[in-house]
Amino acid sequence: MRSEPVVRIRGLVKRYGSKTAVDGLDLDIAQGEVTAVLGPNGAGKTTTVEICEGYRRADAGTVRVLGLDPVADAPRLRSRVGVMLQSGGVYSGARAEEMLRHMAKLHAHPLDVDELIERLGLESCGRTAYRRLSGGQQQRLALAMAVVGRPELVFLDEPTAGLDPQARRATWELVRELRADGVSTILTTHFMDEAEQLADDVAILDAGKVIARGTPEELCRGGAENTLRFTGRPGLDVNSLLKALPDGTEAAEPTPGTYRIAGRVDPLLLATVTSWCAQHGVMPEGISVERHTLEDVFLELTGKELRR
């Protein structure tokens, strides 16, 4: 049995002046899962999340968070939802530990602050004023502030932007523990590996709409073309190879002696390539089939040109 979605969005529209940031977006987010919201800059990720957090009002459509209206029912929602802003949110003169302790005091059953500080490796920052913390330390403090009240649902807006690999891993580990303990997490990110590592469910946004949806595996499998590579004698007749392959397949020799075949790489195609090699007396070395990453899928769906 699937429980009610923690977030339910129908026909959401948000405009800023003449610009439409969110354009009829529908999205259900399942309870207890980690959902990654991806999209190029300006796709409407932060606007959507901020509407769910009650910071902005929708121009049209309905949004329900834990079954409640994020604006009208804000007083009842605020203790149940943890929020990590993209930046800021802390008094510039406050020390990390003191700020976290203060947030804990606003909740009825907060986490143990000392353990949380240790968990996120913030012990050394306890006495340091917020404005003197590194970007990564500020991020981790914001994350700690989002979870200290033991919420049912947390919104993490680019939680690992600017983190070093160790801090990134600590953050990922914490998100996994949240999931294991039944907390629902919605995170926006620009890191595709982060979504692949963490997310049970991915929603790709572009131009204010959801353009793809599924588990990372589903998204990588569906639609995207894979690549077969091998090395051999330089100067093989690529056109002859291409004739043996199904229509729509590409074959090229990007650097002398390395061959790249792009298309729907299935067992039949692999057999065709190796038998062509056998006919031409070529030993295909280092043969590999590359599975497409979420990043490939993302770029395929949203285009490679720079967004403004």
Q: Pick between residue 54 and residue 232 the one whose CB is nearest to other proteins.
A: 54
- In this structure, what DSSP letter does residue 54 have? T
Residues 188, 156: contact at Cβ < 8 Å? Answer: yes
Closest distance to other proteins from the beta carbon of 203 (Å): 22
Query: Distance from first CA to last CA of the chain, Å, rounded?
Result: 43
> Which one of the spans 37-45, 150-158, 206-214, 244-252 is the region binding other proteins (CB under 8 A)?
150-158
Residues in 24-63 that interact with other proteins by CB under 8 A: 53-55
> Which one of the spans 18-26, 103-111, 157-165, 232-240 is the region binding other proteins (CB under 8 A)?
103-111
Measured between alpha carbons, how far is 238 from 250 in angstroms, rounded to an integer? 10
Q: Which of 109, 127, 304, 308 binds other proteins (CB under 8 A)?
A: 109
- In DSSP notation, 70-100 reads TTTTHHHHTTTEEEE-SS--S-TT-BHHHHH
Residues in 63-102 that interact with other proteins by CB under 8 A: 75, 78-81, 83, 85, 87-94, 98, 102
Closest of 58, 34, 54, 8 to residue 208, by C-alpha = 58
> Which one of the spans 147-155, 203-211, 267-275, 289-297 is the region binding other proteins (CB under 8 A)?
147-155
Triad 137, 293, 183: Cα angle to 5°: 50
For the sheet containing 7-16, what is the strand order?
19-29, 7-16, 60-65
Closest of 119, 145, 146, 123 to residue 133, by C-alpha = 123
Site string for other proteins, 152-181 (x = CB under 8 A): x------------------------xx-xx
Q: Pick between residue 78 and residue 209 the one whose CB is nearest to other proteins.
A: 78
Q: Pick between residue 157 and residue 201 the one whose CB is nearest to other proteins.
A: 157
Q: Pick between residue 53 and residue 194 the one whose CB is nearest to other proteins.
A: 53
Task: State the residue for tokens 């499998």.
Answer: 221
Q: Does 121 bind other proteins (CB under 8 A)?
A: no
Measured between alpha carbons, how far is 59 from 48 in angstroms, rounded to an integer? 12
SS3 48: helix
Q: Does 147 bind other proteins (CB under 8 A)?
A: yes
Q: Does 141 bind other proteins (CB under 8 A)?
A: no
Closest distance to other proteins from the beta carbon of 58 (Å): 17
Question: Which spans of this chain sit near other proteins (rule: CB under 8 A)?
Answer: 53-55, 75, 78-81, 83, 85, 87-94, 98, 102-103, 105-109, 111, 115, 119, 145, 147, 149-152, 177-178, 180-183
